[in-house]
Chain A
Amino acid sequence: MASTRTHDTRHDPRPSPDRPVLEVLDLHTYLFTRWGTTRAVDGVSFQLHAGEMLGIVGESGCGKSMLALSLVRLTPEPAARILGGQVLLEGTDLLSLPESRMRKLRGREISMILQDPHQSLNPVFSIGNQMEEAARVHERDVSRPEARRRAVELLKTVHVPAPERRLASYPHELSGGMKQRVVGAMAMTYRPKVLIADEPTTALDVTIQAQYLKLLRELKEQTGVAIILITHDFGVIAEACDRVAVMYAGRIVEQGPVRDIFDRPRHPYTRALLASRPRRDVAMERLAVIEGQPPSLTDLPLGCRFAPRCPYAVDRCREQYPDPYQVSPAHTAWCWRSEEQPWAPR
């Protein structure tokens, strides 16, 4: 069993057929506040291939959003600081670039969709105006008619009906789903290689959510963009993603293909999350809950961060952070008891 463990957490040991578009290595982002240091992202590594959709799932405050912001280097100054690690976009370390070069990559190579479509558009300008503006951020010499033509094209790719007329609309005249489509279109202006979607469907209602996830998949297939989908909802992951990484208290505790994670979760936290979602196929009186609170990121336990809430924790879990365990070549779990199945409660 010891032979399947690798002690180097910096490298995903999974054999990769082609070079990943984005490779994150041992990323650390801490927040320095007057109440102490919050280890929001504390040693996260993952890879992302072209045309792949990676879901990052976790509770509120587990560091998902801070991870997303770290990737584009827009963490809130001056509280947050990226202390270590690498973010390799096709081999270039984004963290070592000067800000001026980083700015040229944002939107062009790596783009982002934010949570609330109602807030993502400037209320005082028409959609067309803002899309033309987006098209001219990196290419100043694009003419207005050309920018307009591109805007119409983009709106077509995200299935906005009557795109020519929509250009004259103001944000408040559109529905939430429509706005989020527009925001998606704007994020795709330069055909980025990586698109980070931070809870893009949370503010939408359920039927619109499904449509939007379908749209993201479509964009991925048509343009080969690699998508990082951040969510707290396993349902969204199941619907849209190829792979999933489960985050808890600033670290990835389990990652692998969506099917494997759903069928054979090897981390008690993943399993508890899966058990706590509402299901149609199992009759239940009440939803399962995970007892207790996530640890405060300013005062983390010494060993496994889930140990205080884990029904299977043993002494070792409380003393030492687990090494990664390869369940299969693509599936890794960071739990001392991953190899035992099923777990015996302590």
Chain B
Amino acid sequence: MRRPRTAPPPPDAGLSELDAGSSRDAPAGPAARAPRWPRPGLRRLVRRWPWLPILIILFVLVIPALFAPLLSPYDPLRGTLADRLLPPAWLDGGTWSHPLGTDKQGRDILTRVIYGARISLIVSSAAILIGAVLGSTLGLLAGYFGGAVDRVVSWLVDTFMSLPIVLLALVVVAVIGPSFVTIITIISVTIWSSFARQVRGETLSVRESDYVARSRVAGASAARILLRHVLPNVTNTLIVLATLQVGVVILEESSLSFIGAGIPRPQPSWGVMVAEGRDQITTAWWLTFFPGLAILVVVLSLNLLGDWLRDFLDPKLRQQE
């Protein structure tokens, strides 16, 4: 049963509403059970899930990253030179033992795309974890305390937002050399500011709310208010932002790897693969096409999922339902 995502469910929307209604109207008393919220919520969630993006993220990014060695019989780093530059299986000269073909060193493209997912996932989760923790902490403090704290944090945010990431990466890599740690650091440094800015803005509005005022009147400390009232109210935004940022980070990592300032070769990052195949793009297009396609569908799906989450988690849209 498919419906437009934002439309409110019709009155006959099925069991979920009935469940909620009956348990809520149940007679009072010790035996009356409180409505258990996950059930109606979960059903609605499942019904409106953006299935295609989720499947793509699962099958192109998450599952390959977790189970790479089980999925592929080949070594992503070593090829057999006899099999070099084989086209995908369905073209003339292709073979089903290398479904997406091989590169000029005879490495299986599918295997490398699968292992590339692992790099994308590691880099993006690490960078986003660091960036989100750092950025939202600073954003909370800046938004809540204002004054000098806010001025310093906002100044840092503006500064970091205006840094050209590619130049920064080239300089850092030129000085200390490319590595996993370097690229994760560089990307975290460039994305924390968007978390900080977003969280700061939301904190400003939550700080002015009456429930924060009430809590302050009740004698709660700043730390308690931040953790109990402000953070839970910005969590939705954080989830959405983090999801959208995964796409951004994968793209950044690929771009940096493409120009040689990212994941060191011969690691099979999608960006590295696109860079390596660039010279043969007219003769062996599959070297660049498949990693490029992986980047495209994964980033697109993450953005779609992020947009959907933003709608779904928005309490204003939720209350209309």
* A contact residues vs B (CB 8 Å cutoff): 72, 74, 78, 103-108, 111-112, 114-116, 119-125, 133-134, 137-138, 161-162, 164-165, 167-168, 172-173, 183, 186-187, 189
> What chain A residues lie within 8 Å of B216 (beta carbons)?
74, 106
Partner of A138, one of B213, B219, B228: B219
Partner of B28, one of A105, A107, A162: A162
> What chain B residues lie within 8 Å of A108 (beta carbons)?
219
> What chain B residues lie within 8 Å of A115 (beta carbons)?
210
Interface segment, B30-38, B83-91, B271-279? B30-38
B221 touches A103 (CB 8 A): yes
Task: Give the interface size bracket for B toward A.
Answer: 20 to 34
What is the predominant secondary structure among interface residues of chain B facing chain A?
A: helix
- If the complex has contacts A78-B147, A124-B233, are A168 and B35 also in contact, measured as CB distance less than 8 A? yes
> What chain A residues lie within 8 Å of B232 (beta carbons)?
122, 124-125
Q: Does B214 contact A (CB under 8 A)?
A: yes
A108–B213 Cα distance when bound, in Å, is 16
> What chain A residues lie within 8 Å of B228 (beta carbons)?
122, 133
A-B contact pairs, 30 of them (CB 8 A): A72-B217, A74-B216, A103-B219, A103-B220, A104-B219, A106-B217, A106-B218, A107-B217, A108-B219, A111-B217, A112-B217, A114-B214, A115-B210, A119-B210, A120-B211, A122-B232, A124-B232, A124-B315, A134-B218, A137-B215, A137-B219, A164-B28, A164-B30, A165-B28, A165-B32, A165-B34, A167-B34, A172-B319, A183-B214, A187-B218
Which of B24, B209, B219, B224 has the most C-beta atoms of chain A within 10 angstroms of its own C-beta? B219
Chain A's nearest CB lies how many Å from the CB of B234? 10
Chain A's nearest CB lies how many Å from the CB of B29? 8
A125–B233 Cα distance when bound, in Å, is 10
Q: Does B48 contact A (CB under 8 A)?
A: no
A168–B221 Cα distance when bound, in Å, is 26
B219 touches A119 (CB 8 A): no
Q: Nearest chain-A residue to B235 (Cβ)?
A: A124
Q: Nearest chain-A residue to B319 (Cβ)?
A: A172
What is the predominant secondary structure among interface residues of chain A facing chain B?
A: loop
- If the complex has contacts A137-B224, A165-B34, are A107 and B211 also in contact, measured as CB distance less than 8 A? no
A129–B319 Cα distance when bound, in Å, is 20
Which of B147, B218, B229 has the most C-beta atoms of chain A within 10 angstroms of its own C-beta? B218
Chain A's nearest CB lies how many Å from the CB of B28? 4
A183–B214 Cα distance when bound, in Å, is 9
Chain A's nearest CB lies how many Å from the CB of B189? 31
Which of B210, B233, B319 has the most C-beta atoms of chain A within 10 angstroms of its own C-beta? B210
B219 touches A105 (CB 8 A): yes
**B214-248: contact bitstring with A at CB < 8 Å (1 yes, 0 no)?**
11111111001000110011000000000000000
B213 touches A107 (CB 8 A): no
Q: A111-B217, A168-B34, A187-B217 are in contact. List 9 more A-B contacts (CB 8 A).
A: A74-B217, A106-B217, A107-B219, A114-B217, A116-B210, A161-B28, A162-B32, A186-B218, A189-B218
A104–B220 Cα distance when bound, in Å, is 8
**B167-211: contact bitstring with A at CB < 8 Å (1 yes, 0 no)?**
000000000000000000000000000000000000000000111
> What chain B residues lie within 8 Å of A164 (beta carbons)?
28, 30, 32, 34
> What chain B residues lie within 8 Å of A74 (beta carbons)?
213, 216-217
A121 touches B211 (CB 8 A): yes
Q: Nearest chain-B residue to A172 (Cβ)?
A: B319
> What chain B residues lie within 8 Å of A78 (beta carbons)?
147
Q: Nearest chain-A residue to B32 (Cβ)?
A: A165
> What chain A residues lie within 8 Å of B211 (beta carbons)?
119-122
> What chain B residues lie within 8 Å of A189 (beta carbons)?
218
- If the complex has contacts A124-B232, A137-B224, A161-B28, are A114 and B210 also in contact, measured as CB distance less than 8 A? yes
Q: Nearest chain-A residue to B315 (Cβ)?
A: A123
B213 touches A114 (CB 8 A): yes
> What chain A residues lie within 8 Å of B315 (beta carbons)?
123-124
Partner of A107, one of B32, B209, B218: B218
